[in-house]
Copies of this chain bind each other. A is one copy, B any other.
Amino acid sequence: MQKDDCETVRQIVAATGLFRVGEIDVAVELVQARLDKGAASGYEFVFAEQKGETIGYICFGKNTLTVSSFDVYWIAVEPSKQGQGIGQLLLEEAERQIAAASGARIYIETSHRSDYQATRGFYERCGYTLAAVLDDFYAPGDSKATYFKVIDTLAQPSA
């Protein structure tokens, strides 16, 4: 992690066109918290690089109110690099690190808006199950969908 990761994350998250300004600020705040406090921030990052350029990242961490649940706080891939499996590689690396940290469940919260349909399809293809929808959570007409995956299925792959 380095200082210019803040700007890199801001650019990638903004480029997706999916987030409000306030949401982009929160994404950058998580990078700054990691830079300021290190692992004590509770935020883990994995970056995807291609030819020396950062083209995507995932941010996750243990939910400190839980015994063994982890949250994926953010995942984003530069739009011109989407559809190449980079998001899946990022998510799988996060899952490996969460399994190694004895995580039992992974939660991902995302929008239920129609322009997030590809995002939700991505999580479903990656083995995540829709657990709840909170109506109008993010804004009127912008509900929150919560997906989860049980880590047992990662530690014990089917034969």
Q: Which residues of A contact B (CB under 8 A)?
A: 20, 22-23, 25-26, 64-69, 104-105, 107, 131-140, 142, 146, 148
Write the chain B residue with the least CB distance to A25.
B64
Write the chain B residue with the least CB distance to A20.
B67
Q: How far is the CB of A86 from chain B (nearest CB, A)?
A: 24
The answer to whether B138 and A67 have CB atoms under 8 Å apart is yes
Write the chain B residue with the least CB distance to A66.
B138
The answer to whether B146 and A132 have CB atoms under 8 Å apart is yes
The answer to whether B134 and A22 have CB atoms under 8 Å apart is no
Contacting A69 at CB < 8 Å: which of B20, B67, B131, B137? B137
9 contacts between A and B (CB under 8 A): A20-B67, A26-B65, A65-B138, A66-B137, A66-B139, A69-B138, A104-B136, A107-B134, A132-B134
